[in-house]
Every structure is written in structure tokens, then in C-alpha cells.
Chains A and B, each alone.
Chain A
Amino acid sequence: MKTTQTPAPLPAESGAPLAKTDAPPGPPPKEKKEGTVLNVFSHGILVLWAIMVVMPLLWAVMTSFKDDRSIFSSPWSLPDTLHFDNWSRAWTEANMSDYFLNTVLVVGGSLIGTLVLGSMAAYVLARFDFPGNRFIYFLFIGGMSFPIMLALVPLFYVVNNMGLLNTIHGLILVYIAYSLPFTVFFLTAFFRTLPTSVAEAAFVDGASHSRTFFQIMLPMAKPGLVSVGIFNFLGQWNQYMLPTVLNTDPDKRVLTQGLVQLAVSQGYKGDWSGLFAGLVMAMLPVLAAYIVFQRQVVQGLTAGALK
């Protein structure tokens, strides 16, 4: 990538680099100069922000290989030797392995449930006319703009009374319920764009409604399911507020929660290097997956907002 190309030298008298709003209509030399100045300026700003984004992440990676003393004495120095023991300590002693497992279970279950239930509801709402259709649709959509914390106070007791507090399957059900608004919103719009003729043909050939859905419509909706699946995966993997309220058992903690608890308890134990190793451990898989599936991730996360 060409980010480090040397900028062309600035003309000495470039007083106002950005805004030449009232530039006279196109005498070529002047326009060219403006273009160069603007180019240098925009590159400068863009590089600066890129550095501001990357540096904290690099700092975390670097720190995760240092010993506790040098973390405190010189935050930006390179590690003297690569302390891989930080990583193994975080994985075993600090229970990162358990947190990973819990997260995988919760997110795996909720992602499948969200996609199945969300596409079922969205399909019916997009394709069938029945009394109450609009009402149910807006009931789902409304969930996107309400502050979740308001519902969490009674929800804690609802979940508790059902015996689902501090259980993996309880958390899965709650994750699904709170992922439905966006999923239904997105997939309803998506199902509307699909052609009706194929489903009608299948129906005429004697396929039932549900068979038409599972064997014809779901495969056709795959691009939409991938987008909304990535959106939900990241949202559920990174979820912090729901587990903080509904999942107070130390053994059932998910990744984000576990790390925060670790940070609190390290205040007493002082294993900062282990904590940084845990942080990086939690960051890397998501970042790696993002870099590999970059196009799909960006599409998945921005698709809803562009509609």
C-alpha cells in the first residue's frame, strides 16, 4: 500500500491549503497547485488518523510481551525479551480459555437462533398479507430505538423467575430476543426484493408453505443472511451490557465480562502483563477475521444504515 509515499514539497506561500472556495474558473497552473497542496494536506491528515487508530492497538500487543516492571517504568519501550509466559498465564490461570469457550457457546447458539427465527418472522411479514402485519412489524422495529437498560431491570427478575439466570441457554434466548429487531428489519426488506415467481411456481407444484420457505426462499436469501449474520455475530461476540446484568456467575462469564473482571481483580494481584495478554488474545481473532473477510464485514455492518 502506498501510504508512506513522500509528499510533494509544499510551495512556500501556501497560506490556505484547504479552502480556495472562490478560485477563478480554471486557469490550469493555479488549479494544479491547489490540487497538489490539497493532496499533501489530505494525505497528512489521513496518515495522522491512521496512526492514532493503530498505535493504541500496537501498544497493547507490545505490552502483552513485557514484564510487569517495564510496563510501569517505560510504557513505550520494546520488550527486552518476548515474555510468552504472559500469554500462557492468561490462558490458563486467568481463565481466558473458559471465557472463550463460554463466548463461543453463547454466540454460536444465539447466532443460529437469531438467523432462523429472524428469517421466519421476516419472511411472513414481507410476503403475507394478514391483519396485524404492520403492527407486528413496527413492534419489532421499535425495539431498535428503545433504551435496552430500561427493560433490563425487570428482565433480570423475569429471567430469574424462569430459572434462566446465570445459564448459557438463558443468555442465548435473551441475545436472540434483543437481536431480532434489526434482523427482522433487515431481512424483511431483503425478502421484499426477491422475485416472487420462483416461490409461486414451487407452490403450484404442490410444495407446502414451509417447504417453499426452507428449500427455495432461504437459499435465495443467502446474501442477506450472510450480511445480517456478520452484523449479529460481531454484536453478540462483543456484547457487554446484557451479560453484565444477566450473567453474574463467575464460571459463566463471557469474554468481555471476564476481561473487565480480570482488570478489576488485577488491581489487587498486579498481573498487568497477563491482563494485556488476555486483552490482545480477545482482540486478535476478531481483527484477523475482519482482515480476511473485510469486504463482507463492511457490507454487513453498513448495509442496515444505508437503507
Chain B
Amino acid sequence: MQHGKYRFIVGFLALPLGLYALFVIWPFIQSIYYSFTDWTGLSPEFKMVGFDNYSRLLDDEIFWKSLQHSLLFALLLPVVTISLALFFAFMINVGGRKRRNGPVVSGVRGSSFYKIVYFFPQVLSIAIVALLFAFAYNPDSGAINSVLRGIGLDDVQPLWLGDPDLALWAVMGVLVWSTVGFFVVLFSAGMASIPAEMYEAALLDGAGRATTFFRITLPLLWDTVQSGWVYMGILALGAESFAVVQIMTTGPGGPDYSTTVMVLYVYQKAFRDGQAAYATTIGVALLVVTLAFAAVVMRLGRRERLEF
């Protein structure tokens, strides 16, 4: 039987693990190796160049810009998105009118409707969302400037994605728009599991809504907030920011490199400029940033776990 057990384990693990090793683990290892070569990606020949790519990185102005933007994405986007989502979720679950004989805290009416609507962007592809907003931001025929004209702000007609000072914020706005709903639903589920007696006790002690939020809701929800934070940061450094920047901005990454992010720069160096080795070097930098981000959030956020 012992023999049969191991044969079973090997038989069941071989295929998934093999596929995973071949398409995920092996390329990761390779790319770290390639970052020390002068491989172009176009020809199979290359030689080791030591840390040349890394020292080139230090002098690459566009790299520093992309690093700056990526850090901004990883730090600011989760803060804005999660704060908004916590606010909405608190309103939905605790902001309701007090009803006679009802529970002490209650959700607003139609709370399930809000949750359904807010979640819409989450089921759409980020690529489709990015395309949609690329049109909405169009300075002449886009929906947004048209609304501004409609409410009498004829002089406020920003170029949005065409303005180097504004483009990055416009792109970040789209990511906020598309992810807030997910966190509202996530936090709502967490808030619903907080026992009502806690709120009752707080209200009896004279706590207002804000105190209740900061002293009861937030601490009890902290684990969810923290993992949501890491999740959002990884998305903002990786796939999501790639899609929005690559699809929405001119260049992509423009105007004048004002929106370029690390993940896009990796892609451009590898598949547009034929500098695969240098691309993997930028990718290694991205890996370091991602892991550092996750470590910092986990460490800063560490608190005593509250049981309830």
C-alpha cells in the first residue's frame, strides 16, 4: 500500500507540476540568468556581460521614470481604492436610518443593489475598460469633456491623456474606477460578520459613527484590508497597469514618458526594441520592487489578531 501511495502521488503531481515548472518556474530562472548577458532575443547567440545591464539601468532616465510611476501606482492606488471602498462599505452596512424596533445598526435601503452595481467593472476585462475610457477621455468627442461642457464648464476642457501632467492621473483614475467595487463587496462581507452586539455596546457607550468605524469596524476588518492591500499593489505593479497604460496612452507610455511603468518598459524593450537581456534586467528590478512592497505592507500592517 505504501508503494501504491507514492505512485499515486507522483502520478497526480507530475502533470501539473511539470507544466508549471516548464512555463512558469523555468522562465523565471532563465530571465534572471539572461539579465547578465547581452542576449537580443533575435539571435540565439549571446555572451555573459556581468553587471553591465545593471549599471546601464542606473543611468537610464526612462527606467527611473518608470520606477517612479510604478511606485506611485503601488503606494497611492491601494490607499485611494481601499479608503473609498471602506467608506462605501461602511455606508452600505452601517449608514442606514435607524428603524423603530430595528437593529441598532443597519444597512441603507437597497444595499444589495449598490453591491451589484459597484461590482460591474470587476467582471469586465481591464482591456475593455481601458479602451472605453480612452474614448471617454477624448478631448473633443469624449464623454467626460462633453459632460463638462454640458454643466457650463466650457473653459475646463483638459487634454487628459494628451497632457503630460494629467495623463498619469487619468490612467490611475481608471484603475480606481475598476477596482473599488471589488473591495466594497469584500469589505461588506467582512463587516456583515462583525457581531451586532459590538456596535450596540459602542453606541451605548456614546460612540458616534466615526468612532465606531475607527475603533470597531476597522480593527476587526484589518486582516482583510491588509491582504486586499497586497493584492491591489501587486495588480497595480503588474498586469493591470500594463493593460491600461499600453492601451490608453500615446506611445504607449507617453506623452513624453509621463505614464510609462516598469511592466510596460519590460515589454517594450523585449518585444519592440530587441533588447531581451536588458528587458529581463528591468524585470528583475520589478521583482525586487514587488517583493519589497509585499514585505513592507505585511510588516507595517502586523497587529495583534483580534478574535471575535
Chain A: residues with CB nearer than 8 A to chain B? 1-3, 5, 18-26, 31-32, 34-36, 38-39, 41-43, 45-46, 49-50, 52-57, 59-60, 63, 71-76, 117-118, 120-121, 123-124, 128, 130, 136, 139-140, 143-159, 173-174, 176-178, 180-181, 184, 208-210, 213, 234, 237-241, 244-245, 255-257, 259-260, 263, 272, 276, 279, 282-283, 286-287, 289-291, 294, 297-298, 301-302, 305-306
Contact = CB atoms under 8 A, between A and B. Distances in A.
Contact of B88 (A26, A46, A63): A46
A23 B208 contact: yes
B238 A147 contact: yes
Nearest to B181: A53
B63 interface: no
A3 to B, nearest CB: 5
Q: Sorted from nearest, which 10 A-B pairs have the closest CB atoms?
A: A238-B125, A150-B283, A42-B95, A25-B206, A177-B23, A42-B91, A256-B127, A151-B27, A209-B8, A121-B16
B76 interface: no
20 contacts: A39-B95, A45-B87, A46-B91, A46-B92, A49-B88, A57-B132, A121-B17, A139-B25, A147-B237, A147-B263, A149-B283, A153-B270, A153-B279, A157-B41, A177-B20, A210-B12, A234-B123, A256-B125, A279-B131, A306-B189
B195 interface: no
B19 A176 contact: yes
Given A53-B181, A151-B24, A259-B128, A146 B287 contact: yes
A306 B224 contact: yes
Contact of A26 (B5, B206, B228, B234): B206
Interface residues of B, number: 109
Contact of A180 (B16, B228, B270): B16
A294 to B, nearest CB: 6
A246 to B, nearest CB: 10
B16 A50 contact: no
A39 B150 contact: no
Contacts of B26: 154, 158
B142 interface: yes
Contacts of B83: none
B30 interface: yes
B132 A56 contact: yes
A291 to B, nearest CB: 7
B147 interface: yes
